[in-house]
Amino acid sequence: MPVSPIVARRTSPRTPYLVRSGAAYLFQIRIPRRIDPNGRCPAIRIGLGVLPAREARRQADILAGLSRVAFERRRIRRVSDGTDDSETDAMLAMAEVKGYLKAHHDLISQTPPEPAPNADRDALKGLVLIERELAKGPEANPLIADNADTLRDRYLRNLGGPTATVADRPIAEAQPTPMRHAPPQAPAPETSVARTANPAPTREAPAPERITIGSLGSADRVKDFVPAYELDRRTVDRPPSSKPLFSQVSEEYLRMRATKRGDGNPDVGSERLRRDVFLDLIGDHPIDTYNASDLQAFVNYLKYWPANVTKRAAFGGMTPRELIAANSDLHQRPLRLKTLQDGYVANVKAMMRFKMTELEYRDPFDNARIFWPDTAAPSSPREPLGLDMVDRLFKVGVHYGILDEAILPLMAFLTGRRLGLLIALQGSDLREKYKGVWVAQTSGIVLQKGAWVRVPYKTGASVSFFVLPQLLVDIGFVDWARQRDGFIFETLRKLADPPKSASAYMNRLLTRTGGRAIGREVFHSLRGGKIEEMRDHDVDPRSRRLQSGHQLGDEHEIYGFQALTEKQARDIARMPLPDEIDFSIFYGLDFDRMAKTERTRGRRAVYVPSAAPHANGKSLKR
């Protein structure tokens, strides 16, 4: 019996069991009341995938008939066994019928694709071109003459019948068409076929109708039209090519990235995951046969891709297609627009372009116009942190007694550098550049666990030195850090992914302070606050860029030393601190004890300011 769609819309009253969800079709049917009297069992749903409407109706009709047979068999067996109409029995019936339908769907969905409408006509034109070229004798094109047998066999195979000579088929006069150079193939074995007196006429496949505004009189014709990006891109016809497959090119790209970034780099792992998702959804084809429809189809699929890695892992063992079908109702949060554009799509585009110069092919996705799904939320703009919130953040970090939670917020606020670079600093990276002015500078690679690894800096400007404000010297942190043998924040560097873990810890600390760490008020806002503060104190743009690790701008800024001069560094080091923040809590800290303090599992109590006295003259309470 037909059911009303829940997560999709009905496609046609002629096929009441077929519904559509986005670009994909679903077959659904309810358990009959004679098996489920209470009607508590959910509808049986079978995903048909992205396919033409006519094929979807055909499969839905077959599954509907099979389901009726399965329901009747189940009813007869229940009567013969004498079982009651329990809810458990109905659920078992639903599971049995669903498995039965899935098994049959795997069979009916494996029908070979229909040949292209112009396949016979193009093959006949190719045969005419070969014979006309051979008739020229010595003046014939050597490329065609030397490979005539191979080309003739290929065109004859495209006709769908047994190999035969051209004389055995009536060929209509046609103008020769330009020929695409096919990849070299091994010559097929020669066959001799007796020539018949009255050869059977060859039926030419009808050309597809061109749909225009004036010819859209039939509703069925419009309904059956399927855009290229809604077809199953794994099985669509593609031009012949001698180029390698996308999987080969992308694998070489990923290995190059792993060599550059290091084995086990999380960015390379993310790129590999996105490549595998693309291959599962779009298919593995020669690198120069992809087009903009493949990219649009990929984006349409990713509309239903769960954004949360943990949620994706909870489904367990599912292929990307199955995972997308399971989230067709979008009960799991989809990807954000930035992740979709700068992550999945950008990674695939980079892999596609990797061998363009060496293999001499064009960019398949060049100038492709992509329509992004409305469910892909735009990035939330970063918002500055108020000075009162920064003050609470400092107090909470100091009160917990962990070195990174107490000092990293202060360093980010005072230096304007990225968190990933700050946690990679070692004691030897701190030095007195000018008299009374201390700076920090990483070499770009550090020795960790017996191996040299790259510091996670973003640009080349990030490895230039930056000024440590005088406050860090006055509280004794610089002297203590310079005595450290190895990383200053050693506890964080022991983790599997230090930058990611540090970012999670800092944003969690900000959340306890009262900040909205998701999207707007984040730890990275401290870096933006420092840049704004330097602008308010009339620090020139070039000095601001050098201190924050940004690339220099025009040619005039690049000219000269690409580092802070003594005057510029001294002005930044002695920049006045805001009066709204109490920095006295950082004096007298036991950095050795804080460095040895480790995090414990479980929730922490939220600390808020109160009137109770604090050890450093301020107040905090649980």
Place of tokens 């049986």: 44
pLDDT of residue 132: 78
Tell me what percent of the residues of the chain surpass a pLDDT of 70. 70
Give the containing element (helix H, strand E) for 28: strand 24-29
Residues above pLDDT 90, as percent of the chain: 16
- pLDDT value for 564: 80
Q: How many CA atoms lie within 13 A of 224 on its CB side?
A: 12
The band of 168, judged by pLDDT with boundaries at 50, 70 and 90, is: very low
d(CA 483, CA 424): 16
Query: So what's the pLDDT on residue 207?
Result: 40
Helices (H), 19-86: 53-81
Both tokens assigned to 339? 């992740």
Per-residue three-class SS string for 540-551? CHHHHHHHHCCC
pLDDT at 210 over 50: no
pLDDT at residue 178 above 50?
no
* Rounded average pLDDT over 98-109: 80
| Cα angle value 475/468/620 (rounded, 5°) | 40
Q: How far apart are CA 358 and CA 609, in angstroms?
A: 64
DSSP-derived letter for residue 215 is G
* The pLDDT of residue 622 is above 70: no
Confidence check: pLDDT of 166 > 50: no
Binning the chain into helix, strand and coil, the percentages to the nearest 5 are: 45, 5, 45
Segment 113-127 shows an average pLDDT of 65
Residue 262, helix vs strand vs coil: coil
- Pairing mode of beta strands 445-448, 451-454: antiparallel
31-40, 172-181, 284-293, range with the lowest pLDDT? 172-181
| Helix (H) / strand (E) containing 188 | none
Task: Please report which confidence band the pLDDT of residue 459 belongs to, taking 50, 70 and 90 as the band edges.
Answer: low
Closest CA to 240 of 113, 155, 367: 155
pLDDT at 278 over 90: yes
Amino acid at 188: A
CA atoms within 13 A on the CB side of 29: 25
Q: Is the pLDDT of residue 476 over 50?
A: yes
CB atoms within 10 A of CB 295: 23
CA distances to 152, 157, 173, 305 from 130, rounded to whole Å, are 8, 15, 13, 50
> What does the pLDDT read at residue 298?
94
Report the alpha-carbon distance of residue 355 to residue 362 in Å, rounded: 10
| Least reliable range by pLDDT among 227-236, 259-268, 412-421 | 259-268
Between 216 and 390, name the one with better pLDDT: 390
DSSP state at residue 585: G
The pLDDT of 194-212, averaged and rounded, is: 39
Average pLDDT, the chain: 75
Q: What is the pLDDT of residue 46?
A: 86
**Sign of the CA dihedral running 266, 269, 271, 274:** negative
Identify the pLDDT of residue 206: 41
Rounded to a whole number of angstroms, the distance between the first and last alpha carbons of the chain is: 61
Query: Which band of pLDDT confidence, cut at 50, 70 and 90, is reported for residue 344?
Result: very high
Q: How far is CA 211 from CA 11, 223, 292, in A?
A: 21, 12, 21
State the DSSP code for 426.
B
Please say whether the dihedral angle defined by the alpha carbons of residues 130, 135, 136 and 138, taken in this order, is positive or negative.
Answer: positive
Which of 3-7, 305-309, 466-470 ranks highest by mean pLDDT? 466-470
Residue 39 reports pLDDT greater than 80: no
pLDDT of residue 225: 74
19 pLDDT above the threshold of 80: yes
Q: Which amino acid is at 9?
A: R
Beta bridge partners of 19: 10, 26
- pLDDT one-digit tens code per residue, 26-38: 888 888 877 777 7
Neighbouring CB atoms inside 10 A of 274's CB total 22
- Spatial contact of 155 and 169, defined as CB atoms under 8 Å apart: no
For 58-71, what is the mean pLDDT?
Answer: 86
Looking at 447-588, list the stretches that DSSP marks H as alpha helix, in order from N- to C-terminal side.
470-474, 477-482, 490-493, 498-513, 525-536, 541-548, 555-558, 566-573
Rounded distance between C-alpha atoms, residue 392 and residue 28, angstroms: 56
Count CB-CB contacts under 10 A for residue 405: 21
**Higher pLDDT, residue 25 or 561:** 25
Contact 412, 422 (CB under 8 A): yes
